[in-house]
């Protein structure tokens, strides 16, 4: 069942989680992760937003987004998922990933394939302490899922940026210390 939610424009900072359809592992190699990174960078520029922390997991993603002007989370997520979906689907077809493509088949009146689950979860972050807790959770996620030993070793996360304070990330990250609360 689809849950329709509206998110208040009142909060500038959000912790967001969204999942691939049926928890499929769609990020098959580095180029698939890059699709998400390009999509999020595009949406940040379009909506005057910054990513404060992120992790791309094989079956789901988490990130913290901060809106510098008006918080338009629903629009941001609509565009992010739409852009990423079209590129990921095309890439799966080009790479001849037929099994994955068949698993994504979804029939309804307007949609033939489904990359994402229809909903996403978003939690407003109204204090610095909550924000730091969520960033810590994000960065520990790959370790918990046994994708790496140290959180700083996981390539598709902002943990390395926070450890070294040098941005080598494929996602443009704004350090939490730069935010005004």
Please provide the DSSP assignment of 115-160 as one string.
SB-S--EEEE--SHHHHHHHHHHHHHHHHHTTS-SSGGG-TTBSHH
Reported as a pLDDT band with limits 50, 70 and 90, residue 180 is: confident
Reported as a single tens digit per residue, the pLDDT across 1-45 is 334 455 566 789 999 999 998 898 888 889 999 999 999 999 999
Class of domain 13-178 (CATH, top level): alpha beta
Which sequence spans correspond to the domains of the chain?
Answer: 13-178
Structure tokens at 63: 């990130």
Residue 6: the pLDDT is 54
Angle at 105 between CA 95 and CA 36, to 5 degrees: 55
Sheet strands (E) in the chain: 13-19, 49-56, 60-67, 121-124
Q: Taking 70 as the threshold, does the pLDDT of residue 94 lie above it?
A: yes
Reported as a single tens digit per residue, the pLDDT across 62-84 is 999 999 998 899 999 999 999 99
């Amino acid at each position: 069942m689809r849950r329709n939610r509206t998110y208040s424009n009142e909060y500038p900072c959000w912790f967001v989680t969204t999942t691939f359809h049926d928890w499929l592992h769609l990020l098959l190699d580095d180029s698939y992760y890059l699709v998400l990174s390009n999509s999020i960078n595009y949406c940040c520029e379009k909506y005057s937003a910054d990513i404060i922390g992120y992790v791309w997991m094989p079956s789901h993603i988490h990130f913290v987004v901060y809106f510098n002007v008006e918080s338009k989370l629903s629009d941001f997520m609509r565009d992010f998922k739409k852009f990423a979906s079209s590129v990921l689907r095309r890439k799966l077809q080009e790479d001849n990933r037929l099994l994955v493509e068949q698993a994504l088949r979804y029939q309804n009146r307007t949609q033939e394939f489904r990359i994402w689950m229809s909903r996403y979860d978003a939690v407003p972050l109204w204090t610095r302490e909550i924000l730091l807790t969520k960033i810590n959770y994000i960065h520990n996620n790959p370790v918990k899922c046994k994708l790496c030993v140290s959180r700083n070793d996981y390539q598709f996360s902002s943990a390395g940026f926070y450890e070294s304070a040098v941005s080598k990330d494929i996602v443009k990250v704004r350090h939490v210390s730069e935010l005004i609360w």
